[in-house]
Amino acid sequence: MNLPQPLQELIDQFESLPGIGRKSAAKLAFYLLNVPQDRLNRFSQALTDLKVKTHKCDRCFNLTENKRCSLCEDEGRDQSLLCVVEEVTDLLVIEQTRKFNGLYHVLYGRIDPLNNLGPEEILAPQLLSRLVKEGGKIKEIILATNPNMEGETTAMYLKSKLEELRTKKSLDFKISRLAYGLPMGASLEYADYGTLIQALDHRNGF
């Protein structure tokens, strides 16, 4: 049986999203068919506005509706601390901890040689030019790329570029990396060797 074209189109659109199969797509589309029209209008308006009204902050590349994001505009944040993350979703997770009060730089990706993603694919030059432009205000750069092969490769690349820049421009910042270790509530017995070795290497005084 052929479904009405608008319904079929919506199912196809849902199915093209990550993590949604044919059945879930149909379920969502049929659900929306029973939702009041004004709610559907708000839903459709949100989709229309998504790309049009969302921009990258011209300083840290976080997402914003304005030229600068709210984190960059907040003068109460520590202007000497800069946390470098792969994606905006990483920034959001760090923000949720309420533990970090510095600034960010979003790379929009990672270096992944196996998938032909080189340094030119990430916003690394923007990080370097920002450091020069902000003239030594930043005193520590935390490389918070993911603790996997690609994240490590990216961190190593950035470290060498940052060290080069620090010498060349006589800047004074230290470079740090998020600590590795065992997740809270974990049991040693089930930890993988890589994590356990990192936890031993980066053990803290107690």
Q: Which residues bind Zn ion (CB under 5 A)?
A: 57, 59-60, 62, 69, 72
- The H-or-E segment that residue 176 falls in is strand 174-177
- Closer residue to Zn ion, CB minimum distance, 69 or 162: 69
- Closer residue to Zn ion, CB minimum distance, 57 or 85: 57
Question: Smallest distance, Å, CB 73 to Zn ion?
Answer: 8
- Closer residue to Zn ion, CB minimum distance, 125 or 194: 125
- Closer residue to Zn ion, CB minimum distance, 100 or 195: 100
- Closer residue to Zn ion, CB minimum distance, 12 or 73: 73
Alpha carbon distances (Å) from 197 to 144, 147, 185, 203: 19, 13, 18, 10
Sign for the CA dihedral angle at 49, 108, 130, 126 comes to negative
- d(CA 193, CA 40) in angstroms, rounded, equals 50
Sign for the CA dihedral angle at 166, 167, 172, 177 comes to positive
- d(CA 74, CA 136) in angstroms, rounded, equals 19
Question: Smallest distance, Å, CB 19 to Zn ion?
Answer: 29
Question: Smallest distance, Å, CB 83 to Zn ion?
Answer: 12
Radius of gyration of the CA atoms of the chain, in A: 22
> In the numeric block, which tokens belong to residue 105?
């730089």
Question: Smallest distance, Å, CB 127 to Zn ion?
Answer: 13
- The H-or-E segment that residue 85 falls in is strand 81-85
Question: Smallest distance, Å, CB 120 to Zn ion?
Answer: 22
